Amino acid sequence: MILWARAETAQKGITEDMERVFSANLNYQPDDAVRIAGKRIRRELKEQVPRIVIISRIVLVIAFIFVQAIVFGLLIRAALADIRENFYLNTIAILLL
């Protein structure tokens, strides 16, 4: 996978928040757990964006070079075949004269 987030980080934050709320003898709201998990996971994913951008650019450049190499290879092959064919035809024409 390109992006990942560790669940342990979010779990640790939720557990710490639950302990804080329960020590104050309050009811814990599930929405708070979702908010905390979302913030932590989002932060981890944002930290990975620069690495993903670099990797994506490298992969795209390599793919572009590969495709260009195939195209140029086919063009070179066709040009060499044409040169060989013309060379042999010219040679035969010269010999027949």
Check pLDDT > 80 for residue 77.
yes
Global model pTM greater than 0.75: no
**Between residues 12 and 79, the one the model is more confident about:** 79
Amino acid at the residue 93: A
Answer whether 36's CB lies under 8 Å from 20's CB.
no
Segment 47-54 mean pLDDT: 87
Check pLDDT > 70 for residue 1.
no
DSSP code for 29:
P
Check pLDDT > 80 for residue 34.
yes
Q: Residue 8: pLDDT band by 50, 70, 90 thresholds?
A: confident
Supply the pLDDT for residue 97: 67
